[in-house]
Amino acid sequence: MRELWVVKPGSKVDIAALDPADTRALRGGPKAAEAALDADEQALTELQARLWAENQRSVLLILQGTDASGKDGTVSHVFRGINPQGTAVTSFKAPTDEELSHDFLWRVHRAIPHAGQIGIFNRSQYEDVLVARVRKLVPKAVWERRYDDIVAFESLVAQGGTAIIKCCLLISKDEQRRRFEDRLNDPQKRWKFRRGDLEDRALWKEYQAAYSEALERTSTKAAPWYVIPADHKWFRDWAVSRLLIETLTEMDPQYPQPPDLAGITID
C-alpha cells in the first residue's frame, strides 16, 4: 500500500496536480474505513507492544500539512487504544527564545523517540523550509541549505534504528475553507482558529511551491515522504494507519528471550 503514496527519491513533485479527495485505494467509503481501523487498532496494539518490549528500535511518524489538514485528528484517531507509555507526541510551534539560540534542528533532535517508542511529530523540522521560506523569516541562502541539513539529519536518525515515516496531509483550498468555517461556528473548536491562519491561506500558491520542493529534495530511501489525500478524514486516518502497520510489520519487532528461569520457584 505504501507505493500508492510514496514520493520516489529524485522524482518531480507538483502538489497542485495531486487530488486531495482521491479515495480509490479503499472501496466502501467511511464504513469500510471504520471497520479497517478497528482491525488495524488491534494489529497496531500488538506491534507496539512488541516494539516496546524489544526496546532496540523506534518509529517516528511525521505529520506535516497546511492549517486544518488534520494533524491533530490523525493522532487521536490512529492511536486510539494505544498504550501511552510507548508513544511520545511532540507539537512544534513557533520557536522559543531558547530554541532560537541553537541551530534549527536542536529542538527536533531532542524529541526523537527513545528505543521502543513510537514518536509522533505534529509539524516538524520542515517548518524551517516551509513557513520560514514563505513568510521570509530567514534569507533564501539560509533556508536553501537546510534541505541538505535535514536529509543528513534524518539519515543519522535512521542509522540509529529509527524508522521514519513522513506524511504530507494534502487538502484542497475549498476543504480548508469548510474546516475553518466549522471551527468558527463550533465553540468547542473555535479555540483552534487564529488570524494567522487566514494570512497563510492568502499565501496558498507559495506554500504549494514550498511543499513541492521540500518533498522533491528530502524524500529519501531512509526517510520517504508519503502524500496522503486528506480531504476525507476517514480515508486519511486509514491511510496513515496502513503506513504504520506496514512499516512495523516489515521491522518485525520481537519479544526478548526471558532470562534463564531454571531452578526458579514461586511460593
Whether residue 148 is contained in a domain is answered as yes
Q: Which CATH number belongs to the domain containing residue 156 in this structure?
A: 3.40.50.300
Question: In this prediction, what percent of the chain has a pLDDT beyond 90?
Answer: 90
Q: What is the mean pLDDT of residues 78-94?
A: 92
Whether residue 207 is contained in a domain is answered as yes
Q: Are 35 and 141 in contact (CB under 8 A)?
A: no
Whether residue 15 is contained in a domain is answered as yes
Whether residue 103 is contained in a domain is answered as yes
Across 33-37, 55-59, 186-190, least confident range: 186-190
The whole-number pLDDT of residue 219 equals 98
Separation between Cα atoms, residue 58 and residue 22, nearest integer Å: 31
Whether residue 120 is contained in a domain is answered as yes
Residue 99, Cβ density class (10 Å: 0-12 exposed, 13-18 middle, ≥19 buried) = middle
Domain count across the chain: 1
pLDDT at residue 265 tops 90 = no
The whole-number pLDDT of residue 200 equals 95
The whole domain housing 173 covers 2-251
Q: What is the pLDDT of residues 227-258, one digit of tens each?
A: 999 999 999 999 999 999 999 999 999 999 88
pLDDT at residue 161 tops 80 = yes
Whether residue 261 is contained in a domain is answered as no
Q: What are phi and psi of 28, to 5 degrees?
A: 110, -10
Q: What is the pLDDT of residues 87-142, one digit of tens each?
A: 999 999 999 999 999 999 999 999 999 999 999 999 999 999 999 999 999 999 99
The DSSP secondary structure of 244-264, one letter per residue, reads: HHHHHHHH---PPPPPP-TT-
The whole-number pLDDT of residue 211 equals 98
Instruction: Please report which confidence band the pLDDT of residue 223 belongs to, taking 50, 70 and 90 as the band edges.
Output: very high
Q: Are 60 and 162 in contact (CB under 8 A)?
A: yes
Whether residue 85 is contained in a domain is answered as yes
- Give the cell for residue 45: 496494539
Separation between Cα atoms, residue 54 and residue 161, nearest integer Å: 12
Whether residue 59 is contained in a domain is answered as yes
pLDDT at residue 262 tops 90 = no
The whole-number pLDDT of residue 261 equals 74
Q: What is the pLDDT of residues 168-209, one digit of tens each?
A: 999 999 999 999 999 999 998 899 888 889 999 999 999 999
Q: What is the pTM of this model?
A: 0.95
- Give the cell for residue 266: 514461586
pLDDT at residue 32 tops 90 = yes
